[in-house]
Amino acid sequence: MFHPTTSKRSKSILLAAFGLGLATTSATAQNATETATAGGAGVRAVLELFTSQGCSSCPAADALLGKYAADKSVIALSLPVDYWDYLGWKDTLAKPKFTARQKYYAKARGDGRVYTPQVVVSGRTHVIGSSADAIEAAIQSTAKDLDANRIPVSVRIEGKHLIVETGTAPAGAGVREATIWLAMVHRQFEVKIERGENRGKTVKYVNVVRELNPIGVWMGKPDTLQISRDAVAEPGNEMCVVFLQVGKAGPIVGAASVAGL
């Protein structure tokens, strides 16, 4: 698992490992034409729903996440986990790395709470994923801290590249360093579940994360990352989300998304 570092050499190695490269804003602007762009200034929350096809309580949360996915002020992500597979149905979308991410959150918070459906709100708190009231309350309770530490971030498509730009922290912000994460997202899946607690149901999943990897480190100064579209344009990848997070599972301090891959 990637750990943030202030070493420029380590940063370059990390980018190279993912087939990425650094570029200045002026250089990319001279060589490409913008086709799509999105910034994170209006994002009021990042919602991560940890869900499972083997959980009878999860379809209600999956449907609720669909409503948040339609809200442009929220980045809503579904991260299917695999720890209910033993109940008789192997989740077709789950990845062990999502289970690990949920456990990292529980360890970072110190409460050890790992369950489905669970929504983690902007990396700061967790609530039951099927409760709209609880999610809204969590968004409100974390908004002040998010705004006080928000790092400007934008992501756009220019020709054959994905361009990620980050800015500086607001005056008085406590954050000095953050991991830059890239999530590749499929907009929608419909899954017919044949066994387990949801046997016989067809469940719709929205904004399903298929890949989630660290691509760099924000170290307090404006920066630009240039990523080849060929490295992320796999079949089904319809949207990418970039977010900045303190540590391995700390507060999210900036996020943006762009569609059209």
What is the per-residue pLDDT across 154-180, written as a single tens digit (0 to 9) for each? Answer: 999 999 999 999 999 988 888 999 999
Angstrom distance (rounded) from CA 98 to CA 80: 7
The region, left, alpha or beta by phi > 0 then psi within -120 to 50, assigned to residue 28 is alpha
CA 65 to chain centre: 14
Q: Where are the domains of the chain?
A: 8-259
3-state per-residue secondary structure call for 35-55: EEEEECCCCCEEEEEEECCCC
* pTM for the model: 0.86
Helix (H, G, I), strand (E, B) or coil at 249: coil
Angstrom distance (rounded) from CA 20 to CA 240: 15
Nearest to 156 by CA among 31, 39, 243, 21: 39
Q: Bridge-partner residues for 231, per DSSP?
A: none
The pLDDT value recorded for residue 110 is: 96
The pLDDT value recorded for residue 235 is: 81
The pLDDT value recorded for residue 24 is: 37
The pLDDT value recorded for residue 77 is: 98
Angstrom distance (rounded) from CA 123 to CA 179: 13
The pLDDT value recorded for residue 137 is: 98
The pLDDT value recorded for residue 14 is: 45
Q: How many CB atoms lie within 10 A of CB 151?
A: 23
Angstrom distance (rounded) from CA 103 to CA 249: 9
The residues, any chain, with a CB within 8 Å of residue 58's CB and separated by 6 or more, are 51, 52, 116, 117, 129, 130, 198, 203
- Sheet containing 118-121: which strands, arranged edge to edge? 125-128, 118-121, 45-51, 74-80, 202-218, 178-192, 239-245, 252-259
Q: Where are the alpha helices (DSSP H) in the chain?
A: 8-17, 25-31, 58-69, 96-109, 132-148
* Sign of the dihedral defined by the CA atoms of residues 227, 3, 41, 172, in that order: negative
Given a cut of 70, the residues of the chain with pLDDT beneath it are 1-41
